[in-house]
Amino acid sequence: MPIHTLSIDSPLGTWTLHATPTHLTRLTPGHTNKPSPDRGAAPAVLNDAAERLAVYLAGQPVSFDDLPLAPAGTPFQQRVWAALRQIPRGQTRTYGRLARELGQPTAARAVGAANARNPIPVLIPCHRVIAATGKLQGFALGLDLKQKLLDLEQAPARARQSPLLPV
């Protein structure tokens, strides 16, 4: 099955989306050197995902819930990635809490390993998982980007909580 790619520029850098004709399979930072099989025939899922990702990276709320994703991974990784998609925007979970939610309370390290192998970061929000201490830990794309993504998600909530200024 051919893999199509599409790169977008954003305030947080360039990102390349990879998709089959029906499902998004990867999201990688930077441009890809691999051209799509037919540049004029990008699948709808690729264009839709690129538009939503651009909105998200511009700091606006957007949902990825109904995007058809097909990350390659083990059954356990698939369970972890499905659980990550349930973490609401602007919120975080610890590795241990995710392990407990999966019914495997001693699997916090395995959850971390699955997070590290997430092929569709941001859309499968592995950046929302933090250490039990509340500190940032373990983001394959770097802790600086992890912090920027969390800040981007929490900014609208902070703005809604700020008092109104007198006119």
Annotated catalytic residue within 83, 123, 126, 129: 126
pTM score? 0.85
- Cα distance between residue 70 and residue 153, in whole Å: 24
**Average pLDDT estimate for 15-42:** 78
Q: Are 54 and 27 in contact (CB under 8 A)?
A: no
Calculate what percentage of the chain has a pLDDT beyond 70: 86
Q: Are 77 and 83 in contact (CB under 8 A)?
A: no
Note the pLDDT tens digit of each residue in 62-86.
Answer: 999 999 999 999 999 999 999 999 9
pLDDT the model gives residue 13: 87
Q: Record the tokens describing residue 107, joined without a space.
A: 């699997």
- Is 65 among the residues known to form the active site? no
∠ CA 96-97-98, rounded to 5°: 90
pLDDT the model gives residue 154: 86
Calculate what percentage of the chain has a pLDDT beyond 90: 65
114 φ/ψ angles, rounded to the nearest 5 degrees: -65, -40
- Cα distance between residue 65 and residue 123, in whole Å: 9
Q: Record the tokens describing residue 127, joined without a space.
A: 């950046």
Note the pLDDT tens digit of each residue in 77-134.
Answer: 999 999 999 999 989 999 999 999 999 999 999 999 999 999 999 999 999 999 998 8
Which DSSP category does 45 fall into?
Answer: H
- In the structure, what pLDDT confidence band is assigned to residue 39 with cuts at 50, 70 and 90? low
